[in-house]
Chains A and B, each alone.
Chain A
Amino acid sequence: MGHRVTSADIPANGEQLPKSKVGLVMMVCGAVALAGLIASAFFLWGGADKPTELRGNFAFSWLFAVFYFFTIALGGCFWTLLHNVSNSGWGTSVRRLMENVGFVFPFMFVFAIPLLFPSVQTYLFEWMTEHKTAIQYAKDHGLEDTSAVAGLEARAAKHDGMLIAKNWYLSLEFWHARFVIFFLGLGFVIWKLRKLSVDQDTCSSPGTTRLFKARAMSSWGIAVFAVTLTFIAVDWVMGLDYTWFSTMWGVYIFAGSALNSMAVILIASILLRKAGFLKNVVTKEHDHIMGKLIFAFTIFWAYISFSQFFLYWYANVTEETRYFILRNTECWNILSYVLVFGHFGAPFLLLLRSDLKKKNNFMIAIAGYLLFMHFLDVYHMIIPERGPSVGNVVSHDPKLWMGGAWIGDLIAFVIVGCGFVFFLLRNITSVSLYPHRDPRILESANVHN
């Protein structure tokens, strides 16, 4: 039996990670992210009228990198909301980490801005191009109504019927409105929740008021989260091919997102403890619980992604199979197999044992491994669309693979990743490491499972 943590062990003003400890990392990451963002935005801007392969490839790279780190930030929002709404006690001592990961989300808007450039949308979203040319068509033919629908109806080209039917959702105005609403809605929720939690740190009479307020807010906030995650996934990734649809898409993204943000939270908590922080309140029991959540979501991810594949494979309906036909062709098929065994098989078997979940070095390795698998998973979602899409836009010659484009993927990944790390460290260093005046901090510190 270990030492029982009492309020005497909790410093009255909390623990803080001094900025000086991570100052250098933050500065380097911030500089790389800022310089990279400006250079990339400059590169991606312009050239809408004269598309080039290089720009098109990098547009996909950028979407890939942004989406990868978005899923992790969104997962942080999810864990915060879930912790509040389920009235949990176990994780109060790591809740601030969840909030800090989640609060990266609103800052990520700056990295999403290039997706608003028409020159980027040309390569990514074919339906936008179709809408724009339909509007132009309506103008050129002197139609009274110069909306996209009128143009599509008048033009009546292949697939236009589908675009007309989907117009209520896939229209330029609504897409851009949603883009902003995602950030405002969930950004407000996570900002407010973190503020409630942070304000308590300096409150002289911390009671349960903020706890109840946070729970009440999370009860509708979790719906905001669900809608945001689902429709970001639909708008940015499923929209790459407007003829395809999957009703499981949102859950699929959610599974990977919750899994990998828990991996990030676990890594952060272990590294902080190695540096001598959080020691009073985070124990092996927390490692075990977080390990179990990672294990559970590994299975959930496999369950959802297999179900999506399985239904399409079995039903074999032409409109639905395109996604998997592309991804089961040649080299992409190898990646699909890697995901089956690497994203599910290996971590499933490794995480079965309970004693390994309490070994910090092992868990850092496996969490890092899972983040790499998530890299491949997001790659598998987005990048196979690049060859057909960019090839078509640039030279009307759809390809399967763009040679050398992976360099751009890595560059974009490093830039956005540095931004993610910068904002995460900024969040962590700006407030206490754990909510030391939360009424449930002792319950969490002494948790036993």
Chain B
Amino acid sequence: MSTTVKRVYGYLAEFESASKLYKAAEKVRDAGFQKWDCHSSYPIHGLDDAMGIKRSVLPYFVFFGGLTGFLTAISLAYITQVEIYPTVVQGKPANIFTIPAFFPIMFELTVLFSGFTVLFGLLGLMQLPRLNHPLFASKQFARATDDGFFISIEARDPKFSAEGTKALLNEIGGANIELVEDEN
């Protein structure tokens, strides 16, 4: 028999329906927890407000990502087409008034860089990709992609306590409350 102490991830509790999950989330939010999450197989409208999630900083990244793309495009097109190799195409001048010809490039690179910032910024903020998640140790958690509605509260949260958090989850209507520990 092994006596190794396993690292506790946190509590996992199941809720009957989306609306029960929503109500419970409001209570967990009001109890002041920070490191916790809701799990459902589909998006629930307004759940981010019920959880008290602040607006993401991602839009600001995207703005500067887009701006970078825009400036890259202007420099790329202008320096190559006007400064280094002035090219007369279709009788158009090779100066700043050629700029309409660069608009498609400016548009495309702005969109491309914004898109990249969205994708990679999102992955970065969500800390993805990752190989495993401690919650996968729970057998019942597999139902989160089917018909289960869960709330997990992490042990890292300063408000977490083995007894108090369990009592809270019980009080707000959680069933099958489970202490999730790391496998091995």
Contact = CB atoms under 8 A, between A and B. Distances in A.
A316 interface: yes
A283 B83 CA distance: 53
Interface stretch (A103-111, A247-255, A307-315): A307-315
A314 B101 contact: yes
Interface size band for A = 10 to 19
A141 interface: no
B37 interface: no
B45 to A, nearest CB: 6
B103 A310 contact: yes
B50 A1 contact: yes
A310 B106 CA distance: 14
Interface of B (DSSP majority class): helix
Contacts of B45: 448
A223 B90 CA distance: 39
B60 to A, nearest CB: 10
A310 B100 contact: yes
A352 B62 CA distance: 11
Interface string B133-153: 000000000000000000000
B91 interface: yes
A309 B100 CA distance: 9
Nearest to B26: A1
A352 B60 CA distance: 10
A306 interface: yes
Nearest to B66: A352
A310 B100 CA distance: 7
B49 interface: yes
Nearest to A353: B59
B90 A316 contact: yes
B100 A448 contact: no
A306 B100 CA distance: 9
Contact of A448 (B46, B59, B90, B91): B46
A442 to B, nearest CB: 14
B61 interface: no
Contacts of A352: 63
Nearest to A315: B90
Given A1-B50, A352-B63, A448-B46, A316 B91 contact: yes
A448 B59 CA distance: 20
A316 B92 CA distance: 10
A1 B91 CA distance: 62
Contacts of A448: 45-46, 49
A309 B104 CA distance: 13
Interface string B92-123: 00000000110110000000000000000000
Given A306-B103, A314-B101, 15 more contacts: A1-B26, A1-B46, A1-B49, A306-B100, A309-B100, A310-B100, A310-B103, A310-B104, A313-B100, A314-B90, A314-B100, A316-B90, A316-B91, A448-B45, A448-B49
